Structure 1
């Protein structure tokens, strides 16, 4: 990229950082591993070509940057710097060596209930900070939950706030966003929703952690929604032995209508 140093793709310099290998990508962004040129700190640089963004996506990007600048919490990804050059924005974030929770589940399959509890407590702490700031994430899924290390002292960090939005107290939103497998049915039905929509996503993540599969499936979004709406309960794999507390929490989180009990079958 012009104006950012020489030496080919592997030797690029962005601000004070030496850019290394690509570690991720999205529809409008590429994520690079990088190191600070002076003190060697590892970071992840999310590179966005601004010319590809329509007005709504530009607003989402600005919202994400605003949220990350505003919040400092161990269970939310840290923002180190914003570096702008013509046509591109680089968001410099803390580097999470453990990858994301989706990769973790792929490697390990279902996890012991105690480890799922460890992850859920950290996710709850991050969500509490969002609620304290009248924010909803709206796209909670394993791919957006990063792990600080590869060992048993993993710290889970919420990331990717492009869909997050501010809610006025008791405010309701109507926008369709998020990933269908983890999306609350009220969002898929284009109904008004509030911060409880994030709790459905938490339930879907917990269910996948302890069983190795998502609670509901479908060949497309419409069939997925139909399967959710006609379901009378959750189907836990018979070979999975879970505590009553864990299954009860799944039932409480994965309730189509928080005012009506979601009865186990």
Structure 2
């Protein structure tokens, strides 16, 4: 286990005075390199989000670390991945649809992270959880003006390939690393710090995205959504602990999430073979 003292990704961006599309591109490259390594090892993280991306130290050129492997899974370890787990807003459509899924779910999450890094707000949001899930299931998101006016078409194309509804058409980490926005010079060098940091403060300071959720309530929500009968209003998924939220779906007799971050991160999912690792570092880039 390693001590990671550099703080969260969002905090570092907000504190910076200069932040560009190139900076975002190089951050995403670090994440892609690390997740590609995990995927090559047969490991699917299943809960990638900015809160799990931490700087190793306070140094300006500190590397990024991926943390919280409590929901990770070894792919092909004797069972099909179908457990709905992750964090609302970052989970792939096939997870919410409760279909068998693959490591492509991590690539979707990276697309969501890239989207946020370029505008400061999430691609999917609604106070009503059923409506939020419906947006994700349909992959309905926009590049809204004026927030995306100064962002390159290459960046938008990159995101669209990762946030592709069909997991069979979605970019893999290898493909994403070869995209011009990552491997080429299409990422713009214009300072977008003011607009991005303002939106991060506005959308994530007290965000429901950081809350833990009652797994049973989420299961009920998704089942009602599948039946087209969900009438629950905002806030029906209830906070249960101070740790970051998950959509871990246990069996009907498993109860809700643990009230302890330590317990949750060490418990195994119903599929078994979840990993107990705590951090994995992202290969360091030249900037950020």
Q: TM-score range by the shorter chain?
A: 0.5 to 0.7
* Aligned residue runs from structure 1 range 94-113, under 5 A: 95-105=3-13, 107=15, 111-113=19-21
Runs of 5+ unmatched residues, structure 2: 172-288
Counterpart of 2:26?
A: 118
Q: Which has the higher strand share?
A: 1
Are residues 1:184 and 2:92 paired?
yes
Once residues 5 and 78 of structure 2 are traced to their aligned partners in structure 1, the CA distance between those partners, rounded to angstroms, is 38
Are residues 1:199 and 2:119 paired?
no
Deviations 1:38-60 (A, max 9, x none): xxxxxxxxxxxxxxxxxxxxxxx
Once residues 70 and 139 of structure 2 are traced to their aligned partners in structure 1, the CA distance between those partners, rounded to angstroms, is 31
Deviations 1:154-198 (A, max 9, x none): 311111100000001897410111101111111112111100000
Q: Give me the TM-score of the superposition, normalised by structure 1.
A: 0.58
Counterpart of 1:255?
A: 164
Once residues 233 and 176 of structure 1 are traced to their aligned partners in structure 2, the CA distance between those partners, rounded to angstroms, is 21
Once residues 64 and 136 of structure 2 are traced to their aligned partners in structure 1, the CA distance between those partners, rounded to angstroms, is 28
Once residues 18 and 93 of structure 2 are traced to their aligned partners in structure 1, the CA distance between those partners, rounded to angstroms, is 24
What secondary structure sits across from 1:234 in the alignment?
coil
Once residues 246 and 169 of structure 1 are traced to their aligned partners in structure 2, the CA distance between those partners, rounded to angstroms, is 35
Residues paired across the two proteins, number: 170
Once residues 103 and 161 of structure 2 are traced to their aligned partners in structure 1, the CA distance between those partners, rounded to angstroms, is 15
Counterpart of 2:41?
A: 133
* Alignment root-mean-square deviation, CA: 2.7
The answer to whether the 8 A contact 1:255-1:261 is kept is yes
The answer to whether the 8 A contact 1:109-1:212 is kept is no
* Aligned residue runs from structure 1 range 224-239, under 5 A: 224-230=132-138, 232-239=140-147
What secondary structure sits across from 1:258 in the alignment?
coil
Runs (4+) of structure 1 exceeding 6 A deviation are none
Residues 230/138 of structure 1: CA separation in 2 closer, same or farther (3 Å cut): closer
Counterpart of 2:153?
A: 244
Deviations 1:87-128 (A, max 9, x none): xxxxxx2x2232112433554599411111111111111111
Deviations 1:137-166 (A, max 9, x none): 000000111112334313111111000000
The answer to whether the 8 A contact 1:140-1:202 is kept is yes
Are residues 1:154 and 2:62 paired?
yes
Once residues 261 and 97 of structure 1 are traced to their aligned partners in structure 2, the CA distance between those partners, rounded to angstroms, is 34
Once residues 249 and 242 of structure 1 are traced to their aligned partners in structure 2, the CA distance between those partners, rounded to angstroms, is 12
Which shifted more, 99-108 or 148-157?
A: 99-108
Once residues 101 and 110 of structure 1 are traced to their aligned partners in structure 2, the CA distance between those partners, rounded to angstroms, is 15
Residues 231/191 of structure 1: CA separation in 2 closer, same or farther (3 Å cut): closer
Residues 183/230 of structure 1: CA separation in 2 closer, same or farther (3 Å cut): closer
Residues 229/175 of structure 1: CA separation in 2 closer, same or farther (3 Å cut): closer
Residues 259/223 of structure 1: CA separation in 2 closer, same or farther (3 Å cut): same
Runs of 5+ unmatched residues, structure 1: 1-78, 80-92
Residues 178/128 of structure 1: CA separation in 2 closer, same or farther (3 Å cut): same
